[in-house]
Chains A and B, each alone.
Chain A
Amino acid sequence: MSDRRRLDPARVGRIVVLVAWAGFFAYLWASGDVVRYLGPRTYWVVVFGTVTLIAAAISSLSMVRRGSTGQLTVGQFLGYLLILLPIAVVVMAPDAELGALAVSRKLVGDDTRAVIIPQFDPDRPVSFIDLAYGSRSPEYAKAAGIEAGRELELVGFVTHEGGGKGFRLSRFYISCCAADAIPYSTDILTEDGSDYADDTWLQVKGTIESHEGGFALKASHINEVEEPDPPYL
Chain B
Amino acid sequence: MAVRSPALGRRLSPGLAAALLACLIAVVAIGRVTNVSQTPQISSFVLVFTSIVVEALPFVLLGALVSALIEVLVPDSAFTRMGRLPLALQLPGAALGGLAFPVCECGSVPVARRLISKGMHPAAGLAFMLASPIINPIVLWSTYVAYRGQGLGWEMLFGRASLGLILAIVLGWTIGTESASSLLRSRPEHDHGHDDHDHSKSRVAAVAEHLTLDFAFMARFVVIGAALAAALQTIVPQGIVSGVAGNPLTASLALMGLAFLLSLCSEADAFVAVSFTQFPLSAQLSFLVFGPVIDAKLSFLYGATFKNRFVLRVIIAAVPVVLAGAFWFERIVGQ
DSSP majority for the A interface? Answer: helix
**Among B91-99, B167-175, B209-217, the stretch in contact with A:** B209-217
Partner of A108, one of B16, B44, B242: B242
Tell me whether B8 is interfacial, beta carbon within 8 Å: yes
- Segment among A15-23, A147-155, A210-218, A222-230 that sits at the interface with chain B: A15-23
State whether B8 touches A86 (Cβ < 8 A): no
B86-116 interface (Cβ within 8 A of A): none
| A182 nearest CB neighbor, chain B only | B275
Nearest neighbor of B11 in chain A, beta-carbon distance: A71
Q: Which listed residue, A37, A59, A80, A101, touches B208 by the CB 8 Å rule? A: A59
Within 8 A of A (CB), among B176-235: 189, 192, 195-196, 198, 201, 204-205, 207-209, 211-213, 215-217, 219-220, 223-224, 226-227, 229-230, 233-234
Chain A residues with Cβ below 8 Å from B242 are: 108-109
Q: B268 at interface (Cβ–Cβ under 8 A)?
A: yes
B229: A residues at CB distance < 8 A: 179
Verify A112–B277 contact, CB threshold 8 A. yes
Contacts of A117 in B (CB 8 A): 148-149
Residue B146 lies at the interface, judged by CB distance under 8 Å to chain A: yes
**Distance (Å) between the CB of A32 and the closest chain B CB?**
14
A81 touches B24 (CB 8 A): yes
| Distance between Cα atoms of A76 and B5 in the complex (Å) | 12
CB distance from A149 to the nearest CB of B (A): 27
Whether A45 pairs with B58 at a CB distance below 8 angstroms is yes
A71 and B229 CA atoms in complex are apart in Å by: 34
Find the residue from A46, A55, A85, A110 having the highest chain B CB count within 10 A.
Answer: A85
Q: Is the CB of B12 within 8 A of A77?
A: yes
Whether B236 sits at the interface, judged by CB under 8 Å, is: yes
Contact status A63-B201, CB under 8 Å: yes
In the complex, the answer to whether A99 meets B40 with C-beta atoms within 8 Å is: yes
Contact partners of A115 in chain B: CB under 8 A: 146, 149, 271, 274-275
Q: Which residues of B contact A56 (CB under 8 A)?
A: 61, 208, 211-212, 215
Q: Is there a chain A Cβ closer than 8 Å to B73's Cβ?
A: no
| A93-B274 Cα distance, complex, nearest whole Å | 32
Contact partner, B36, options A9, A62, A93, Cβ 8 Å:
A93
Please determine whether A63 and B205 come into contact, CB atoms closer than 8 angstroms: yes
Q: Are B213 and A109 touching (Cβ within 8 A)?
A: no
**Smallest Cβ-Cβ distance to B230: which chain A residue:** A179
Complex CA gap A179/B50 in Å reads 9
Q: Decide: B230 and A90 in contact? CB cutoff 8 A.
A: no
Residues of A within 8 A of B36 (CB): 92-93
In contact, B51 and A177 (Cβ under 8 angstroms): yes
Contact status B212-A15, CB under 8 Å? yes
Q: Which of B27-35, B121-129, B319-327 is found at the contact surface with chain A?
A: B27-35
- Contacting B at CB under 8 A, from A53-69, are 53, 55-56, 59-60, 62-63, 66-69
B223 close to A82 (CB less than 8 A): yes
The answer, yes or no, to whether A175 is at the interface (CB within 8 Å) is yes
The closest CB in chain B to the CB of A49 belongs to B58
Q: Of the candidates A48, A93, A112, which one forms a contact with B31 in the assembled complex, judged by CB atoms under 8 Å apart?
A: A93
Residues of A within 8 A of B271 (CB): 115-116, 175, 180, 182
A14-B213, A66-B198, A180-B271 as given contacts; A100 in contact with B40, CB under 8 Å: yes
B158-166, B258-266, B305-313 - the one binding chain A:
B258-266
- Cβ of A220 under 8 Å from chain B: no
A95 at the interface (CB under 8 A from B): yes
The yes or no answer to B42 lying at the interface (CB within 8 A) is yes
Are B223 and A95 touching (Cβ within 8 A)? no
- Asked whether A78 lies within 8 Å of B55 as measured between CB atoms, the reply is no
Q: Does B82 contact A (CB under 8 A)?
A: no
Contact with A along B270-283 (1 / 0, CB 8 A): 01101111100000
Minimum distance in angstroms from A39 CB to a CB of chain B: 8
Additional 18 contacts, C-beta under 8 A, given A96-B47, A108-B275, A112-B275? A13-B216, A41-B267, A46-B54, A49-B57, A62-B201, A62-B205, A72-B11, A74-B7, A78-B20, A86-B54, A93-B31, A93-B32, A93-B37, A107-B239, A117-B149, A175-B271, A177-B52, A177-B265
A-B residue pairs in contact (CB < 8 Å), sample of 20: A21-B57, A28-B54, A42-B267, A52-B61, A63-B201, A63-B209, A80-B216, A83-B223, A89-B46, A91-B32, A92-B37, A98-B48, A99-B40, A100-B40, A101-B44, A105-B233, A105-B234, A107-B239, A108-B276, A182-B272
Please report B residues at the A interface, Cβ cutoff 8 Å.
Answer: 4-5, 7-12, 16-17, 20-21, 24, 27-28, 31-32, 36-37, 40-44, 46-55, 57-59, 61-62, 65, 142, 146, 148-149, 189, 192, 195-196, 198, 201, 204-205, 207-209, 211-213, 215-217, 219-220, 223-224, 226-227, 229-230, 233-234, 236-239, 241-242, 245, 262-265, 267-269, 271-272, 274-278
Give 10 closest A-B pairs by Cβ, nearest first: A75-B8, A59-B208, A109-B242, A93-B37, A176-B268, A178-B51, A92-B31, A96-B46, A45-B58, A101-B40
